[in-house]
Structure 1
Amino acid sequence: MKISLERKSEDFHFVAINGRGDQVHIDNSSVDNPKGASPMELLLMGVAGCSAIDVVAILKKQRQQITSYKAEVSGDRVEIDGAKPFKDIHVTISLEGDIAPEKAQRAAALSFDKYCSVSKTMEPGVTIHYKVVLNGKEV
């Protein structure tokens, strides 16, 4: 896996490109009118996307009918020697459809405990907390 990064402005706007040509705009979130996501926001997006792929794949294999998948991810940061890494990440997965509650919860557990490479990369320094909301009710 490889990406390239190119500066697009005199400030902090960059474009990262993967081997397939997909582009992501990156910017400093503390400037006026940033032109992309900050690197820390991208980490949260990575957690959301990685776990979403896992959960959907697991539920599809179990023939569960997913009509909607949404996730909200937030991170708590702590200052360490001038840097501000994440300490805790909170994920809420909201599913709708004909899905057994125990299968939804198990799919999330398998993602965060076993399969999600992004989450596993952040261990042991970051604790990921998650909950599943199925058809409007927390599982």
Structure 2
Amino acid sequence: MECTVRWQPEAGMAFNAETGSGHLLSMDGAPDGGGRNLAPRPMETVLAGTGACAAYDVVLILKRGRHDIRGCEVKLNAERATADPKVFTKIHLQFVVRGRGLPAAAVERAVALSHEKYCSASAMLGKTAAMTTGVEIVEV
């Protein structure tokens, strides 16, 4: 896996990343740090990537189990250390899974498997952060 991150000096503290798969991602800093608030902060992208990684697992596990999943979102709430390096210290992932006839046990198992076995981002962040999960199932 590769990624190239380039600082955009004309934009203050903005950075553009080009991923190994050829996709672009912009990041920016807060105004009090020289940024212009034109894109997510780098640590916000880490948190978003973690949510996407976990949701990907949950959707894939439920689809492979032939469950009628129609939607999945993850709301993440995180706390960071007050001193540098300001690592994440607590992260809660609240899954909202939509579908027809989704067994609670299957959804909870998918979330647990993602959290305990498959999600690489959660595994890395779990080294510094207490990670918790919650599940809500919505019948559609």
Q: Which residue of 1 aligns with 2:91?
A: 89
Match of 2:116 in 1: 113
Deviation at residue 83 of structure 1 after TM alignment:
2.8
SS of aligned partner of 1:135: strand
Structure 1: tracts of 5 or more residues without a match? none
- Cα–Cα, structure 1 residues 58 and 73, in superposed 2: closer, same or farther, change >3 Å? same
- Find the counterpart in structure 1 of residue 66 from structure 2: 63
What does 1:73-84 align with in structure 2 at a 5 Å threshold?
A: 73-80=76-83, 82-84=84-86
Question: Contact between 1:29 and 1:37, CA under 8 Å: does it hold in 2?
Answer: no
Structure 2: 5+ residue stretches without partners: none
How many aligned positions are there?
135
Equivalent residue letter for 1:12: M
Partner of residue 56, structure 2: 53
Runs of 4+ in 1 over 4 A off after TM superposition: 30-33
Q: TM-score, normalised by structure 2?
A: 0.89
Q: Cα RMSD (Å) of the superposition?
A: 1.6
1:95-106 to structure 2, matched below 5 A, reads 95-98=97-100, 99-106=102-109
8 Å Cα contact 1:95-1:133 kept in structure 2: yes
Structure 2 Cα separation of the partners of residues 69 and 29 of structure 1: 30
Distance, in Å, in 2 between the alignment partners of 1:25 and 1:134 is 33
TM-score, normalised with respect to structure 1? 0.90
Q: Separation in 2 of the partners of 1:30 and 1:104?
A: 41
Cα distance, 1:87 vs. partner?
0.4
C-alpha separation in 2, matches of 1:131 and 1:30: 34
Give % identity.
29
State the shift of 1:93 in Å.
0.6
**Which structure shows the bigger proportion of residues in helix conformation?**
2
Contact 2:94 2:134 in 1 (8 A): yes
Paired letter, 1:90: H
